Amino acid sequence: MSALRETVLLEMRLRGFAAKTVEAYIHALEQLWAFYRRALERLSCAEVQRFLDEVITVRKLAWATVNVYFSAYRFLYEQVLHRAPHEFSIPPRGRSGTRPGVLNRQEVQRLIDAPRNIKHRTLLAMTYGSGLRVSEAVRVRIADIDRGRMMLRGRAGQGAPGPLHDPLGAGACAPGGTVALGAAPGVLLLHPSRPPPADLRRHRPGRLLRRAAHQRRCAASAASTCCATASPRT
């Protein structure tokens, strides 16, 4: 599907798609081709729907991943190949039935305080307090911090300036000020000496959060054990 691939890539570049979106859409198209081993432009709507049923019921892919597949196939057949609505139609996806758990204020504070490294605490506090995406958090620079208004300007995945995030709590700003003391305005906040590597951009923030949660659980378990040991016998 090399010719079609180049056409799809051109359309996505012209529309300014983010690099991760391009990668995800191409992967979805490759999976569809691998399933049928036929040119994608020759597949019918029923065949595309059959493959979507395969990834939902047999492969049991994550909800977000299936949504990417839906979006990629809509883009291909509606925007690139210009299929008419009566020739190609995918039913809309409903919302996920899973709801995230909500931590209270004390639980969030304990989670942020769990890492011993001040940079790790800064990353967690800034990301949580400002509602940043991972791609925005790893691109924060000293000049993005507005201490007067306690706000933070995020950067989109492509590095372009993004919206102001509010609030940036004092707990998030103070550690960052300590880490970045004396740095130039254009220097990255969390990595003053070098740009963030690919493994950090993709995995490090999530790994830090899981590690902080594990440290907090270990501390709570140790505290409960000590309390049980210290309790007088009756």
DSSP 129-179: HHT--HHHHTT-BGGGEETTTTEEEEE-TTS-EEEEE----HHHHHHHHHH
Average pLDDT of the segment spanning 62-83? 92
Q: Kindly indicate the confidence band of residue 120, based on its pLDDT and cuts at 50, 70 and 90.
A: confident
pTM above 0.75, yes or no: no
Q: List, for residues 149-164, the tens digit of each pLDDT value.
A: 777 766 554 444 555 5
146 or 98: which carries more pLDDT confidence?
A: 146
In whole angstroms, give the CA distance from residue 36 to residue 43: 9
Q: List, for residues 30-62, the tens digit of each pLDDT value.
A: 999 999 999 999 999 999 999 999 999 999 998
In whole angstroms, give the CA distance from residue 142 to residue 176: 9
The structural domains of the chain, ordered by start, are 2-80 (1.10.150.130), 105-227 (1.10.443.10)
